[in-house]
Amino acid sequence: MTAAEQRRDEEHFRKVEGAMLHVEDAARRLDEAARDLKKEAAAAHLVAALETAAGALRADHSRLVKSVYWGAPADGQGELIAAADQQQRLAS
């Protein structure tokens, strides 16, 4: 790998890591909003909506981290993993 290719790859990873930080921050903000609404005795469906969204973002973040740092399986397992993740999200 040339120095130019390495710099390009590092820049790509910086962009991806920045996006991952935004997703993580959004999940944290959703959790904070849910906690605040609970303290203020807000409607339960509003709290649940925020908590569900935070959980979904965390699941997406986890999938993103795995796919970026460990890559998707080449043997078709990626589709099975995605289906399992979807089932987990529906169950929560």
In angstroms, the CA 13 to CA 87 distance is 29
Predicted pLDDT of residue 1:
83
Q: Note whether 55 and 26 are within 8 A (CB).
A: no
DSSP state of 38: H
CB atoms within 10 A of CB 21: 11
pTM value surpassing 0.75: no
pLDDT in tens for each of the 92 residues of the chain?
899 999 999 999 999 999 999 999 999 999 999 999 999 999 999 999 999 999 999 999 999 999 888 876 555 555 545 555 555 555 55
